Amino acid sequence: MRYQLQIVIDLPRSRVIELFDSTENLPKWQEGLLSFEPIEGEPGQVGAKSQMRFQMGQRTIEMVETITARNLPEEFSATYEANKVWNSVANHFEEASSTQTRWTTKHEFRCKGFIRVLAFLMPGMFKKQSYKYMQAFKAFAESEAAAA
């Protein structure tokens, strides 16, 4: 399953990248994130792997992030692997104006077992969750700017 999402953030691209590129900020906009631990390679660089743990309802989900592209301020891409799910996310950042940034994400999911059935029957569920994270980042980034 593949899809693309887009949101406009009311901040200059340089500030968006500064906030997006900080692992310290992840818990501020990724709901349920319990931990983010580097496990291989130079953190933040292509090839680096990190273990992420999320609390989602009653379940704890663990996944491995592998950075596949880092061409900031234009692009940051990674894959996320969890039990029976592989997800690729390409993040692209464009200047919409001097005070706005257009953030576009391109997603690809490959699922196995029951999750594959869910993805087939309810693809909107995946899009909704992805967009929820984008909206949370936008709210976080814009509130950080207002507080500064």
What is the biggest distance separating any 2 CA atoms in the chain, rounded to whole angstroms?
A: 47
112 inside domain: yes
pLDDT confidence of residue 128: 85
CATH code for the domain of 93 = 3.30.530.20
Does residue 41 lie in a domain region?
A: no
Query: 52-93 pLDDT, tens per residue?
Result: 999 988 989 999 999 999 999 999 999 999 988 889 999 999
The C-alpha angle with vertex 33 and arms to 100 and 139, in degrees rounded to 5, equals 25
Could you tell me if residue 48 is inside a domain?
no
Is 115 inside any structural domain? Answer: yes
Q: What angle do CA 137, 131, 86 make, to 5 degrees?
A: 105
Provide the domain limits for residue 129. 2-30+70-147
Q: How many domains does the chain have?
A: 1
105 bridge partner residues = 5, 91
pTM of the shown model: 0.88
